[in-house]
Amino acid sequence: AQSVAQPEDQVKVAEGNPLTVKCTYSVSGNPYLFWYVQYPNRGLQFLLKYITGDNLVKGSYGFEAEFNKSQTSFHLKKPSALVSDSALYFCAVRDLRSGAGSYQLTFGKGTKLSVIP
């Protein structure tokens, strides 16, 4: 079974400082990894993904993530945090269960990011 762990319920960082939101995963085969952001009472917005290739993935709003196969991690990073980055962040891994047209994601529990002005 696939699983995703986000070890931190909450991350606080000062505006302008770098931020990291941690994610580790467990899958039986090659992982497809994703980061999504959720603002209050809204759906999820796609930030970035890792499928194959370069381990450093760049995404929306200046975010990036580094795939580390040996540590089974996919931490989300941003060099300089903005107050507007404050939101709930979810790491997800693609569920490789079979099924015509299926595409099921397994989510971590989420990490609340608070950027302090």
Query: What are the residues binding another protein (CB under 8 A)?
Result: 32, 34, 36, 41-46, 49, 51, 90, 94, 99-105, 107-110
Nearest alpha carbon to residue 27 among 5, 6, 59:
5
- In the bound state with another protein, the residue whose beta carbon lies nearer, of 3 and 17, is 3
Which CB atom, from 69 or from 97, has the smaller least distance to another protein? 97
Question: How far is Cα 61 from Cα 45, in angstroms, rounded to an integer?
Answer: 11
Give the nearest distance from C-beta 16 to another protein in angstroms. 28
- Least distance in angstroms from the C-beta of 18 to another protein: 25
In the bound state with another protein, the residue whose beta carbon lies nearer, of 16 and 46, is 46
Cβ 46 to another protein, closest distance in Å? 5
DSSP string, 67-93: EETTTTEEEEEESS--GGG-EEEEEEE
* Least distance in angstroms from the C-beta of 31 to another protein: 12
Collapsing DSSP to helix, strand or coil, 12 comes out as strand
DSSP state, 28?
S
If the CB atoms of residues 34 and 63 are measured against another protein, the closer one turns out to be 34
Scan for tokens 């090659």, then name that residue.
Answer: 30
